[in-house]
Structure 1
C-alpha cells in the first residue's frame, strides 16, 4: 500500500516577537498561510522494522537529521508500530529558506503515516506530536491560514487572504534561524507589525489593506547580516509588487501581486537576480479540517 501527501511551503504575512521567554524560546505572534509550492511524499509500508528515506535532491540529509525521518520515528514509537516505512521525498521547496519546507515534510509524514498504519489519531493529536518536532510543524499539519502565538504552536484558524499571485525569490545563501533569533533583541524592537489590523483586513478581503500591513521584525536582523536579501527586496519593490516581505528568518522574499501579467513580469525580472524564483498562487484550502 502506498500513501501520497503534499507538503506545501508556508509564508509569514506577519511575524512579531513580543519577548524572550524564560524557557529560551521567543513569544511570537504570526499570521501564516500556505502557497502552492510543495514537496511531495510517497510512503510505502515495508515489513522490516526500519525507516528508509530517498530523494531526488542530493543536498538534504536522509537520516536522523531529516525532519520527515524524525516524524516517522516519533509516530512509530508513540503508537507502538512494529512495521517500517519507505519514504520517497520529491523536494521542490528551497531548503533553509524561511518557508518551513522541513516542517511541512514532517507534518505530511505524520498525516500520511496516520493513514498508512490506520492509527486513528485526531488532528489535535497529530499537532501535539508535531509540536515536539518544531514550532512550525503544528501549523503545517493543518495548513490553511492561522494566527500563531506562543512559540508558534498555539493556532487560531482565520480566513484565507484574498486570492492573489505570490512571487517567491531565494538568493543563493542559507540563513540560520538560530543565528537570526540569537541576534534579535526583543526588548529593543521599536516597530511591531500591525497584526490585529492585518487579521481585520484579511477578514474584510481587503487586498490593499493586507499588502500595506505586512511586517516581519526579523527583517532588521537578516537584512543587516545578509545585504543580498535587502537588495532582493528592493528589486521586487521596484518591479512593482503590491506588498513585499521576507518570510520567516529568510532569506526568501515574497511579493503579493494581484494580476498574473504583473506576476510574470516580476518573475522574469528577478530571474536575472537569482535562480530560485517562483510565481505561484496562495493555497486557500487547509490540508486537514480542525
Structure 2
C-alpha cells in the first residue's frame, strides 16, 4: 500500500445553515425523515492541525478539552476509515473549535468530513471512490456526507440523500447569529415528537406561495420560504431565540430562520448595508455574528 502524508497540514472545516427544514415523518426505528436545504458557509469555521506521528492511531487535542474524549466524531471518522481501508497512519490532530457547539451549524460533521478527506487524499491505493466515501460518512453522521460536497444541496431521508440545489442567492447577504445558548439535538427531536404524537410521513414537497414552483427552484423569488419545523418547540423553551429572530426582521431582513435544531439563526438581507449594520449591532450586544455575500 502506497500513501502520502504531508509533514503538517492545517484543514479548515466550515459550517452549514439550513434555509429550509421540514420534518416529514418518523421511521419505525425512531429516526426522523427530513426535507432540508443545506447551504455551506466559510465562517464560522474550525481548524484541524494534522501532524504525522510514529505508529498508528489518532491522538486528539482540542481548544475545548472536554471534547477530547473517544466519543469525538473526528476519532470515530478516523476509526471508521481505518476499518474500511486498512489505512491507519499515526496522527496528532489539534482541533481549534470556533464553530459553536449545539448551534445547528454542523460543526462536528464538518470536522469529520475534513479528516475523511485528508485520510482519503493520503491513502494512495487504499483510497475510496466518492460513492463509497459518502456511504462511510453516512454511518458516522447524517450530515457528514454533505460536507464532502461542494455547494448547496437538498437532503431527504434522515439527511443523507443529497441532491445538488440550483440555488441563486445573487444580491443577498446572509447574516448568521450564534448566541451563547446550547440546544441539545436529541432534546429538540423529543420535544418535536411530544408536540406531534400522530404525525404521518408527508411525501409532498412544499410549494412556493408566490410562483407555485417547487421550493427547490424558486429561490430567490421569495426569501419568506425560510422555514424550520423545530422553531415552535425550541422557541417555546428558549424565548431569547425568538427575540433574536424578530430583531433580525426589524433590522431589515427579508426573512429569518433558525438553523438545524438551533441555536443559531440566519437571515437573508437584500441590502448589504442593512446586513452590515445588523452584524455590528449584534456584536455590540455580545452576540457573535457573521455575514456572507453571494
TM-score normalized by structure 2? 0.86
* Cα deviations by residue, 1:148-188 (Å, 9 ceiling, x for unpaired): 01100011112233133221112221001111111113445
Corresponding residue number in structure 2 for 1:247? 259
Which has the greater radius of gyration? 2
- The 5 Å alignment of 1:143-222 reads 143-163=150-170, 164-185=172-193, 186=196, 187=198, 194=207, 197-202=214-219, 207-209=220-222, 211-222=223-234
Corresponding residue number in structure 2 for 1:234? 246
Closer/same/farther in 2, CA of residues 180 and 58 from structure 1, 3 Å limit: same
SS in 1 for 2:249: helix
* Cα deviations by residue, 1:171-213 (Å, 9 ceiling, x for unpaired): 22100111111111344599x95476321213xxxx242x121
Residue 143 (structure 1) shift: 3.8
SS in 2 for 1:39: strand
Residue 62 (structure 1) shift: 1.5
Of 255, 258, 261, the match for 2:270: 258
Closer/same/farther in 2, CA of residues 66 and 242 from structure 1, 3 Å limit: same
Over the aligned positions, Cα root-mean-square deviation in angstroms equals 2.1
* 1: CA distance, partners of 2:274 / 2:233: 30
Residue 65 (structure 1) shift: 2.1
SS in 1 for 2:292: strand
Residue 60 (structure 1) shift: 4.8
Of 62, 67, 71, the match for 2:77: 71
Which segment drifts farther, 193-202 or 122-131?
A: 193-202
Corresponding residue number in structure 2 for 1:120? 127
Kept in 2, the 8 Å contact 1:18–1:27? The answer is yes
Kept in 2, the 8 Å contact 1:236–1:270? The answer is no
Q: Which runs of 5+ in 1 are unaligned?
A: 283-290
Runs of 4+ in 1 over 6 A off after TM superposition: none
Kept in 2, the 8 Å contact 1:193–1:216? The answer is no
Residue 250 (structure 1) shift: 0.4
Residue 6 (structure 1) shift: 2.5
* 2: CA distance, partners of 1:222 / 1:247: 11
Kept in 2, the 8 Å contact 1:15–1:193? The answer is no
* Cα deviations by residue, 1:37-83 (Å, 9 ceiling, x for unpaired): 1222232222221211223x226511212111211121112211243
SS in 1 for 2:218: helix
Is residue 288 of structure 2 the alignment partner of residue 276 of structure 1?
Answer: yes
Kept in 2, the 8 Å contact 1:193–1:217? The answer is no
Q: Which runs of 5+ in 2 are unaligned?
A: 1-5
Kept in 2, the 8 Å contact 1:98–1:251? The answer is yes
Aligned length: 275
Of 135, 145, 162, the match for 1:138: 145
Kept in 2, the 8 Å contact 1:18–1:28? The answer is yes
Kept in 1, the 8 Å contact 2:174–2:293? The answer is yes
Closer/same/farther in 2, CA of residues 194 and 249 from structure 1, 3 Å limit: farther
